[in-house]
Amino acid sequence: MKCQHPLKEILSQARSHWDRDEMRPAVRQAFSKALQCRTAELGAEVYSSDNQELIVYHTCKSRACPSCGYRANVQWLRERRAALPDTLYRGITFTMPDLLWPFFQNNPPLAKALSAIAAEILKARVSAEYGVRVGALAILHTFNGKLEFNSHVHTMVTGGGLDESSNIWVSSAYYERDGLMKAWRRAVITLLRAALRAGQLQTELTADQMGDLLTHLEVRWWSINIQSFEDKGHFLQYACRYVRRPPIAQRRIISIAQRTVRFWYKDKRLRRRVYMQCSLEDFIDRWAQHIPEPHDHAVRSFGLFAPRALRRTSAAIFVILRQEQRPRPKPRSWADSIKRDFGHDPLLDRTGKRMKWARRLAPKASR
């Protein structure tokens, strides 16, 4: 069955699986809110004219909701475009061998540290080589096309940096792949060894087995991918889907039938689409492991882009680069968003007259 809102349909059919005490509260809350989105359970605003009345149900703003996530991503993208200077950027992806994925899946505090580790490596190497400060955005990415847990970090870092001693922007800095790989590998293995010694690593392996595995992996090659971006928008467009949206786009879900879900993903090695089928329960479990805790941030900022540093040095950087600093864009109203995305004004009635806000409807309890 092909439906208009497949993720909602999956959540509805599999509610008995995820709405139970064994599931993390953050997952239950995110899924529950997504099911309530744009329903009477969240209440509504009523707009009217002499000819027509329009009921606009409230949205949920859940990380499991595709439509709410889309709006949040659009606003985040607008804000980042305005806040960051136009200059050369590098996109650097830090990966690790798949043997390590389960340790970060089962130890969320360690996974949360990966973004900071990647950013600190970039900051330290450029500072030591060029004596400049860089700005970096880091995204902890935990899933692949099959919704499996795959921990890696996407970063966007300025191709140059600020020499604070002379207030000069160094236009280009070289990021050497082999050096970054060795520093990343050493830092990740050090993190795991420290957690093991402190008794804070949740694993079924013995200490000796874990030690042997880490010794083996510290001489293996870990993939580091480096790209150059003349325009920050290329990376931001890619990054923004990890801010609030679900880990799978609804267009990838082909059918929902007989308690199963069929979807496709891109296999990078085969360079083609691969089709996959799993049970509703398996799909929910795959999805749930990528729902973050309420106050966890998908994208973190470091160096010149850290919130405190950005407030202090942003104006100076724009002056040094001879660029005009842009004001922070205000969020678009729901009506303006519909006009932008769908080309029609929802507040015009059937005669073309503008409707005005009339009243608010209180949320209705679910049955």
Assess if residue 329 is contained within a domain: no
Assess if residue 197 is contained within a domain: yes
Assess if residue 328 is contained within a domain: no
Is 260 in the same domain as 141?
A: no
In terms of DSSP H, where are the helices of the chain? 6-13, 15-18, 25-36, 66-83, 101-105, 108-112, 114-130, 177-197, 207-217, 232-239, 280-288, 307-320, 334-342
> How high is the pLDDT of residue 2?
62
Is 181 in the same domain as 263?
A: no
- Tell me the pLDDT tens digit for each residue of 307-358: 888 888 888 999 999 999 999 999 989 999 999 888 999 999 999 999 999 9
- Tell me the pLDDT tens digit for each residue of 289-303: 999 998 888 889 999
Is 282 in the same domain as 311?
A: no
> How high is the pLDDT of residue 232?
86
Assess if residue 334 is contained within a domain: no
> How high is the pLDDT of residue 329?
93
Is 124 in the same domain as 232?
A: yes
Helix (H) or strand (E) holding 97: none
Give residue 309's Cα distance to chain centre.
22
Is 128 in the same domain as 268?
A: no
Is 225 in the same domain as 359?
A: no
Is 5 in the same domain as 106?
A: no
> How high is the pLDDT of residue 71?
85
Assess if residue 43 is contained within a domain: yes
Q: Which domain holds residue 89?
A: 66-247+291-320
Is 199 in the same domain as 269?
A: no
Residue 263 one-letter amino acid: F
Assess if residue 335 is contained within a domain: no
Is 177 in the same domain as 255?
A: no
> How high is the pLDDT of residue 361?
96
Selection from 38, 20, 4 nearest residue 338 by Cα: 38
**How many domains does the chain divide into?**
2
Is 258 in the same domain as 230?
A: no
Is 185 in the same domain as 314?
A: yes
pLDDT block averages, 10 residues each, the chain of length 367: 83 96 95 95 96 94 89 88 92 96 95 96 94 94 93 94 91 92 97 95 94 96 92 82 84 92 92 95 96 87 91 89 92 90 92 95 83
In the three-class reduction of DSSP (H, G, I as helix; E, B as strand; rest coil), residue 11 is classed as: helix
